[in-house]
C-alpha cells in the first residue's frame, strides 16, 4: 500500500465529514429556531459534500492519498493518528454515500413534510452521513470503529424515530443489540491487531500482517467478519435488518439498503490483505454470503409487507456481495460493483415503496394494494426500472454486476465453485419470483384498497430523486462494467486485473441466469398474477411457506438459543444477588445498625452524663500518668 501525502483539494477532504457533522450540530443544538430551514440546511450540507467528493475523486488520478489530521490517541505504545485515506475505494463509497444521500435528503423533504420532528430527522440523517463518511475515509481501524459506532447510533435513532410506536422502539433496540454483538467482534479484532502488531493504521497492519502467525490472522479475519455480519445483517445476525424497516422509509432506503449495511462489505474489501493471509476466514465469508443469500431470497418470497420484502431482498443482495468478496481477488471488484448498482436500484425501490405507502395511508400490506400502475405512473415506471435492474434484466445494472459475481463463483474451478454458482443462479430465480410477486401485487390486478384510501402521485420533490435513481439503476451497471471499468479504477487498491480464464463461458452464464430469471418471474405470474390475491393471507399453506413467513425461524432460534438462557441466567444472578450478595451486605448493615442503635442509647442527651464520662476519662488519664511516672 503506497500512499502519498495530501495536497490541494484532497487535503480539504476532512470537510466531507465536517460539513454534515456541522449540519447535525446546528440542527440538534439550534432547537426550534431551525425548524423552518433545517431540512434545507441538512440537504445542502450533504449536497455540498457530494460536490466536494466528486471534485476530489476527479483530482485523485489513481493515487492513494493520506490526509494527516491530528494525533487522536497517544498513550504508551498506542499511537493513533487521526487521518483520512482517500483512495479509489473510499472515493466510490464517498460518491455513493453523498450522492444517494443527497437524493434521499431531497426526497425526505417531501416525505417528512407533515412530521413535526422533521428537523430532528434531518439532523440524524446528517449525523449518519458524517459517521458513514468517517467510516469509509478513516485511515486506521480506530477511525473506522468510531464511524462504525456512529452509524450504529444514527441507525438506532432513526429506526426509533417514531419511538411512540412500541414496534419501532423494539426494532431499534433489537438492531442496536445485534449490532453490538458484531461491534464486539470488530473491537476484539482491533485489540488483537494492536496486541500483535502494535499498530491499528491500515498501512501498518497490512504492511506487517504477513509476519503474524496463521491462527491469529484467522482469528482477526473471523472477528472482522463477525463485525461485518452484525452491521450488514448477514447470517447469523440477519434478524434485525427486516425489523429495522419500522423506521421512516428514507431511512430504510439510505441506511438499511444503500449505505450502512454495505459497510460490512467495505470492511472485508478494505481488509483484503488480511484475508489474503487466511483462506479459512475467507471460506467462512463465502459460506456466510451463500447462506444469507438463500435465506434472504427464500424468506422474501413469503412476506406480505412491501418493505420487508425489500429488506429481505437487501439481505439476499448483500449475501451476493459477501459471496463475491469471499471469493478473493477475483470477486472484490464484482462485489463492489454490485454494491454500487445495488445502492442505486435498492434505494430507488425503497423510495418507490415509500411513495406507494405515502399514497396508501402508510399501509405496507401488499395484499391491500393492487392496480396502482395507472394511479401512480411516475412511481410505477421508476419502481419498475428498479425492479428490472434488481432481477437482472439484460443490459440493466443488475444484469452486469450479478453475472460478474456468478462468473467469479464458477471461476473458482472446483466443485465448490459449481455449488456456489448454482446457488447464486437459484437465488437469482428466487429474486425474480419475489420481486415479480411484489410488482404484481402492488401495481397490477384489481384494487384491494381499504376504505377511504385514495392513491395519488407523490409531489415532485419525492419523484425527482426516484427518477434520478431509476436512471442510475438503468445505466450504472453498463457504466461501471463497460464504459468506465470499475476494475481499472480500483486497481491501485486490489491490484491489476488478471486475465483469468473462464471455466464457463460468460455468455453461457448470462443466458442461464436470464432463463432462470424468466422462469422465476413466470412462476410468480402463475402464483399471483393469474389469480385473485386474497386480502387475508391464507392460513393453510405448506410448511416451507410457513417457515419462510416466520423468517426461517430466525427469531425463534435467537430466542431459544440466546434470549431464554440469558433470561434464565439473569434470574439466577438476580437470585444470587438478592439472597447471597444483598443478604451478606444487608446482614452486615443490620448488625452495624443494631449495634449502633444500641450504642446510641448511651447518648441520653443529658449533659451531666457526658460530663461524667469526661471525668471518668480524666481519672483514667491521671491514673495512667501516675502509673507511668511511678512505675
Partner 1 sequence: MSLTHYLVLAAILFTIGAVGVLVRRNAIVVFMCVELMLNSVNLTLVTFARANGTVDGQIMAFFVMVVAAAEVVVGLAIIMSIYRTRRSASVDDANLLKY
Partner 2 sequence: MNVLAAAADGGVQIGTGEAVVFWVLGPIALAGALGMVLSRNAVHSALWLVNTMLALGVFYVVQEAPFLGAVQIIVYTGAIMILFLFVLMLVGRDSSDSVVETLRGQRVAGILLGFGFAGLVGAGIARATQDLPVTGLDAVQGGETSNIEAIAELLFTRYLLAFEVTSALLITAAVGAMVLAHIERDPGTRPTQKELSRARFLTDRPQTLPGPGVYARANSVAAPALLPDGRVTEDSFATGIDPQEVDQMPRPTGRAELGTPDASLGSLEPTVSDVPGGQDAGSTPR
Query: Rounded to an integer, what distance in angstroms lies between the CA atom of residue 141 and that of residue 193?
Result: 9
Interaction between residue 36 and partner 1 (CB under 8 A): no
Q: Work out which of 4, 570, 609, 610 binds partner 2, going by CB under 8 A.
A: 609
Query: Rounded to an integer, what distance in angstroms lies between the CA atom of residue 159 and that of residue 140?
Result: 28
Residue 62 contacts which entry, partner 2, partner 1, none (Cβ below 5-8 A, type-dependent): none
If the CB atoms of residues 198 and 613 are measured against partner 2, the closer one turns out to be 613
How many residues touch partner 1 under the rule CB under 8 A: the total is 12
Q: Work out which of 116, 543, 605, 631 binds partner 1, going by CB under 8 A.
A: 605
If the CB atoms of residues 590 and 612 are measured against partner 2, the closer one turns out to be 612
3-class secondary-structure state, position 383? helix
- Residue closest to 469 by CA, chosen among 372, 365, 353, 358: 353
Residue 616 contacts which entry, partner 2, partner 1, none (Cβ below 5-8 A, type-dependent): partner 2
Q: How far is the CB of 622 from partner 1 (least distance, A)?
A: 10
What secondary structure does DSSP assign to 11-52, as a single string?
A: GGGHHHHHHHHHHHHHHHHHGGGGTTTHHHHHHHHHHHHHHH
Label residues 576-592 b or e (16+ Cβ within 10 Å = b): eeeeeeeeeeeeeeeee
Query: Rounded to an integer, what distance in angstroms lies between the CA atom of residue 251 and that of residue 598?
Result: 65
Cite the beta strand spans of 143-266 per DSSP E: none
If the CB atoms of residues 580 and 616 are measured against partner 1, the closer one turns out to be 616
Interaction between residue 40 and partner 1 (CB under 8 A): no
Start-to-end CA distance of the chain, whole Å, equals: 88
- Residue 381 makes CB contacts below 8 A (sequence gap 6+) with 470
Q: Judge whether 492 and 85 are in contact, CB under 8 Å.
A: no
Q: How far is the CB of 582 from partner 2 (least distance, A)?
A: 41
- Give me Rg for the CA atoms of the chain: 30
Interaction between residue 113 and partner 2 (CB under 8 A): no
Interaction between residue 630 and partner 2 (CB under 8 A): yes
Query: Rounded to an integer, what distance in angstroms lies between the CA atom of residue 207 and that of residue 198?
Result: 12
Give the strand pairing for 78-86 and 65-75. Answer: antiparallel
Interaction between residue 622 and partner 2 (CB under 8 A): yes
Interaction between residue 626 and partner 2 (CB under 8 A): yes
Residue 601 contacts which entry, partner 1, partner 2, none (Cβ below 5-8 A, type-dependent): partner 1
- Residue 37 makes CB contacts below 8 A (sequence gap 6+) with none
Residue 630 contacts which entry, partner 1, partner 2, none (Cβ below 5-8 A, type-dependent): partner 2
Interaction between residue 608 and partner 2 (CB under 8 A): yes
Q: How far is the CB of 627 from partner 1 (least distance, A)?
A: 18
Over the window 496 to 525, marking each residue x when it contacts partner 2 by CB under 8 A and - when it does not, the resulting string is ------------------------------
How many residues touch partner 2 under the rule CB under 8 A: the total is 15
Q: How far is the CB of 614 from partner 1 (least distance, A)?
A: 9
If the CB atoms of residues 75 and 603 are measured against partner 1, the closer one turns out to be 603
Query: Contact residues for partner 1 (CB under 8 A)?
Result: 597, 600-601, 603-608, 611-612, 615
Amino acid at each position: 500500500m503506497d500512499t502519498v501525502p495530501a495536497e490541494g483539494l484532497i487535503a480539504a477532504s476532512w470537510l466531507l465529514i465536517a460539513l454534515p457533522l456541522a449540519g447535525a450540530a446546528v440542527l440538534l443544538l439550534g432547537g426550534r429556531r431551525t425548524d423552518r430551514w433545517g431540512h434545507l440546511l441538512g440537504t445542502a450540507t450533504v449536497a455540498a459534500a457530494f460536490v466536494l467528493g466528486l471534485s476530489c475523486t476527479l483530482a485523485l488520478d489513481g493515487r492513494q492519498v493520506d490526509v494527516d489530521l491530528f494525533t487522536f490517541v497517544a498513550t504508551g505504545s498506542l499511537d493513533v493518528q487521526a487521518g483520512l485515506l482517500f483512495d479509489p475505494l473510499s472515493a466510490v463509497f464517498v460518491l455513493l454515500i453523498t450522492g444517494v444521500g443527497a437524493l434521499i435528503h431531497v426526497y425526505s423533504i417531501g416525505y417528512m413534510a407533515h412530521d413535526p420532528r422533521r428537523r430532528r430527522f434531518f439532523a440524524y440523517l446528517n449525523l449518519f452521513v458524517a459517521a458513514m463518511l468517517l467510516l469509509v475515509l478513516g485511515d486506521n481501524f480506530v477511525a473506522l470503529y468510531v464511524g462504525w459506532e456512529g452509524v450504529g447510533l444514527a441507525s438506532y435513532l432513526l429506526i426509533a424515530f417514531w419511538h411512540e410506536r412500541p414496534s419501532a422502539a423494539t426494532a431499534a433496540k433489537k438492531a442496536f443489540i445485534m449490532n453490538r454483538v458484531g461491534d464486539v467482534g470488530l473491537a476484539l479484532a482491533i485489540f488483537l491487531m494492536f496486541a500483535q502488531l502494535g499498530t491499528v493504521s491500515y498501512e501498518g497492519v497490512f504492511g506487517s500482517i504477513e509476519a503474524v502467525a496463521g491462527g491469529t490472522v484467522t482469528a482477526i479475519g473471523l472477528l472482522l467478519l463477525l463485525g461485518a455480519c452484525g452491521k450488514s445483517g448477514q447470517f447469523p445476525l440477519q434478524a434485525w435488518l427486516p425489523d429495522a424497516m419500522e423506521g421512516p422509509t428514507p431511512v430504510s432506503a439510505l441506511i438499511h439498503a444503500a449505505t450502512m449495511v454495505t459497510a460490512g462489505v467495505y470492511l472485508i474489501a478494505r481488509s483484503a490483505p488480511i484475508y489474503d493471509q487466511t483462506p479459512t476466514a475467507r471460506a467462512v465469508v463465502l459460506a456466510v454470503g451463500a447462506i444469507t443469500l438463500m435465506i434472504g431470497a427464500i424468506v422474501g418470497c413469503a412476506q406480505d409487507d412491501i418493505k420487508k420484502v425489500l429488506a429481505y431482498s437487501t439481505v439476499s443482495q448483500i449475501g451476493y456481495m459477501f459471496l463475491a468478496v469471499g471469493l478473493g481477488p477475483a470477486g472484490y471488484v464484482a462485489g463492489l460493483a454490485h454494491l454500487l448498482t445495488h445502492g442505486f436500484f435498492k434505494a430507488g425501490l425503497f423510495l418507490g415503496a415509500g411513495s406507494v405507502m405515502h399514497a396508501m395511508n402508510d399501509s405496507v400490506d401488499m395484499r391491500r394494494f393492487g392496480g396502482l400502475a395507472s394511479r401512480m405512473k411516475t412511481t410505477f415506471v421508476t419502481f419498475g426500472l428498479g425492479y428490472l435492474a434488481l432481477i437482472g434484466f439484460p443490459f440493466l445494472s443488475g444484469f452486469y454486476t450479478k453475472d460478474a459475481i456468478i462468473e467469479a463463483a464458477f471461476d473458482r474451478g472446483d466443485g465448490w465453485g459449481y455449488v456456489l454458482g448454482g446457488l447464486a443462479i437459484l437465488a437469482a430465480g428466487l429474486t425474480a419470483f419475489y420481486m415479480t410477486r411484489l410488482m404484481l401485487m402492488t401495481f397490477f390486478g384489481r384494487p384491494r384498497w381499504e376504505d377511504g384510501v385514495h392513491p395519488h402521485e407523490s409531489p415532485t420533490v419525492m419523484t425527482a430523486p426516484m427518477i434520478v435513481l431509476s436512471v442510475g439503476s438503468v445505466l450504472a451497471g453498463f457504466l461501471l462494467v463497460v464504459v468506465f471499468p470499475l476494475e481499472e479504477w480500483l486497481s491501485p487498491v486490489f491490484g491489476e486485473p488478471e486475465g483469468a480464464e473462464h471455466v464457463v463461458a460468460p455468455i453461457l452464464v448470462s443466458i442461464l441466469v436470464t432463463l432462470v430469471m424468466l422462469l422465476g418471474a413466470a412462476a410468480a405470474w402463475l402464483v399471483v398474477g393469474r389469480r385473485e390475491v386474497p386480502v387475508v393471507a391464507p392460513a393453510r399453506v405448506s410448511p416451507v411457506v410457513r417457515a419462510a413467513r416466520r423468517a426461517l425461524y430466525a427469531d425463534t432460534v435467537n430466542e431459544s438459543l440466546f434470549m431464554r438462557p440469558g433470561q434464565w441466567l439473569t434470574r439466577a444472578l438476580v437470585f444470587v444477588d438478592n439472597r447471597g450478595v444483598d443478604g451478606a451486605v444487608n446482614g452486615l448493615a443490620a448488625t452495624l445498625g443494631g449495634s449502633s442503635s444500641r450504642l446510641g442509647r448511651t447518648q441520653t442527651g443529658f449533659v451531666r452524663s457526658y460530663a461524667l464520662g469526661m471525668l471518668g476519662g480524666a481519672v483514667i488519664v491521671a491514673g495512667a500518668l501516675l502509673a507511668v511516672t511511678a512505675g
